Amino acid sequence: MSKLPDLWQDGLAAGWKVTDASQPGPDLKLECDVVIVGSGAGGGMAAEQLASAGLQVVLLEEGGLYSSRHFNLREAEAYPQLYQESANRLTADKGITILQGRTVGGSTTVNWTSSFRTPADTLAWWRSHHGLEAMQDAALQPWFEQAEARLNIGPWQTDPNMNNALLAQGCSKLGIRYAPIRRNVKGCWNLGYCGTGCATNAKQSMLVTTIPVALSRGAQLLTRVRVQQLWLSADRTRAEGVIGLALGPDGIRPSGRRVQVRARQVVLSAGAIGTPAVLLRSQAPDPYRLLGKRTFLHPVVMSGGLFRQPVEGYNGAPQTIYSDHFLHTQPIDGPLGFKLEVPPVHPLIMASTLPGNGMAHQRLMKTLPYWQVSLALMRDGFHPQSVGGSVGLRSDGTPVLSYPLGDVEWEAARRALLQMAEIQFAAGARAVLPVHEDAGMATSWRQAQDMIRQLPMQILRTRVVSAHVMGGAMMSADERHGVVDQAGRHWQLGNVTVIDGSVFPTSIGANPQLSVYALALRAADALRRRL
């Protein structure tokens, strides 16, 4: 529990309308202008804009309310409290581990603060191959600027921690271009615990920016409400509102309390996987069978480098250096390019990610402070064979993503493991361990090459993770090619708007939060005008 000032305590004392639906009580029936499902990057931005325009807003969030006073830097508490499925959401074949937030503020409460605008080549592709003529650089510029100003996005002035500095050193030795990452922070203590919730409130997540403002303008927030489905009109052309189930205090089992919100407009901001799931459960019109399809992940592979000097990848801002070099070594729709970054290296996540077991694994963990870890984010959704995954429902109605990895992804994974090893040796690594069940420690670049070329590229051997779920309710220029229009409005349900990362037609090719924020501001503005 952090004793630093917590703006939520003051806000609640001042009378913010916040209801923890896991508490016992009668069924809840509400009415408002706009109901927003999900309080993450998209939902938070939309809530502030719409509440500030004088509209009556109700925000429904499946997760609980945890704010800075609850954040104690402990992974064992943070993952079950703040993440979907205890930070262990898996694809249908269990081959990819997915990190997504499930708490007030959504993934922004636990994300690593890296801030990139949507790359120009991604927008150009959206225009040329998906007909999204509205996605012009100049037209989007003001929305990026507004989001950046709102969240204090700017250059990070402090030196990178050693984990990031070694990525820079390795790149620089090999003549590979790298650059510093901009961050959405204000008065950051450089702690490195963004992933377990920022205890100092420095991270400008939705939890401390837009949602508090929306509440102070009269919006109402209900936590621990899992929206089950839209409440569709008889002719299935619009939604009367939404229907949800309150979860019990464990956040898992429905408590039996029902929640019904009638609204003029419904905004779906439950994130990729989450938003398609609500629409699937509603059996919303989907005449071209596109719902849930083209869900992208930026599948990530990782490489560990063992150094002589302490790296302490758990201390210091998690991501401050990146390299886009390997996004540009081939055409955007050629063999998958990848972005290089590093993850924070905390004991729980590191221990469960590292391959092996028994004494061999204990030896790895004994040297925890000496490991530098690099990651490669593959840009999916551009190559003709990279069509992403598809969201389906389990028998209990919860969503599951199938994302089969094919030759295109595995070829890129092997290439990325090779490049990361080369960079780690160039930075002075004593040994490199590709994060793969069949890999050993290579003590030279030569040995690493021989080993990585032989590694069987298969799920549940090669470790693949993702913290960037995108798509599944894609935008399109006409109703035959997507689920929503270029302002997020559902093609068949006139008063339903999707405002989150599920509208992207491909992956972003960069960490997605700023893309979600900018398009959310734009979509919320269009919605406000429609009202």
Ligand X SMILES: Cc1cc2nc3c(=O)[nH]c(=O)nc-3n(C[C@H](O)[C@H](O)[C@H](O)COP(=O)(O)OP(=O)(O)OC[C@H]3O[C@@H](n4cnc5c(N)ncnc54)[C@H](O)[C@@H]3O)c2cc1C
**Closer residue to ligand SF4 (CB): 6 or 409:** 6
| DSSP state string for 132-158 | -TT--HHHHHHHHHHHHHHTTEE---S
Number of residues that bind another protein (CB under 8 A): 52
Beta pairing partners, 302:
375
What is the C-alpha to C-alpha distance for residues 450 and 341, in angstroms, rounded to an integer? 24
Q: What is the SS3 string spanning 489-500?
A: EECCCCCEEECC
Q: What is the DSSP letter of 172?
A: H
Residue 131 is a binding residue for another protein (CB under 8 A): no
Identity of the amino acid at 505? P
Minimum CB separation of residue 113 from ligand SF4 in Å reads: 6
**Closer residue to ligand X (CB): 40 or 337:** 40
Residues 6+ apart with CB under 8 A from 398: 277
Closest by CA to 503, choosing from 268, 156, 319, is: 268
**Closer residue to ligand SF4 (CB): 192 or 244:** 192
Minimum CB separation of residue 83 from ligand X in Å reads: 7
Minimum CB separation of residue 448 from ligand X in Å reads: 28
Number of residues that bind ligand SF4 (CB under 6 A): 14
Among 368, 391, 427, 499, binds another protein (CB under 8 A): 368
Closest by CA to 492, choosing from 484, 504, 503, 501, is: 484
Among 111, 169, 200, 209, binds ligand SF4 (CB under 6 A): 200
Token reading at 388: 């992403």
Q: What is the DSSP letter of 337?
A: P
Q: Which stretch binds another protein (CB under 8 A): 284-292, 298-306, 375-383, 453-461?
A: 453-461
- Which of the choices ligand SF4, ligand X, another protein, none does residue 101 contact, using the CB cut-off of 5 to 8 A by kind? ligand X
Q: Provide the pairing of β-strand 338-341 with 371-378.
A: antiparallel
Among 104, 198, 222, 311, binds ligand SF4 (CB under 6 A): 198
Residue 225 is a binding residue for ligand SF4 (CB under 6 A): no
- Please, which of residues 62-121 interact with another protein by CB under 8 A? 72-76, 79-80, 85-86, 88, 93-95, 97
Residues in touch with ligand X (CB under 6 A) = 37-43, 60-63, 99-103, 106-108, 110-114, 195, 225-227, 269-272, 274, 278, 319, 467-468, 500-501, 511-514, 516
Q: State the sign of the Cα–Cα–Cα–Cα dihedral 381, 382, 383, 385.
A: positive
| DSSP state string for 377-418 | EE--SSSTT---BEEEE-TTS-EEEE----HHHHHHHHHHHH
- Which of the choices ligand X, another protein, ligand SF4, none does residue 521 contact, using the CB cut-off of 5 to 8 A by kind? none
Residue 325 is a binding residue for ligand SF4 (CB under 6 A): no
Among 2, 56, 86, 190, binds ligand SF4 (CB under 6 A): 190
Residue 352 is a binding residue for another protein (CB under 8 A): yes
**Closer residue to another protein (CB): 140 or 225:** 225
| DSSP state string for 410-469 | HHHHHHHHHHHHHHHHHTT-SEEEESBTT---BSSHHHHHHHHHHS---BTTB-EEES--
Q: Which residues bind ligand SF4 (CB under 6 A)?
A: 113, 185, 188-194, 198, 200, 202-203, 317
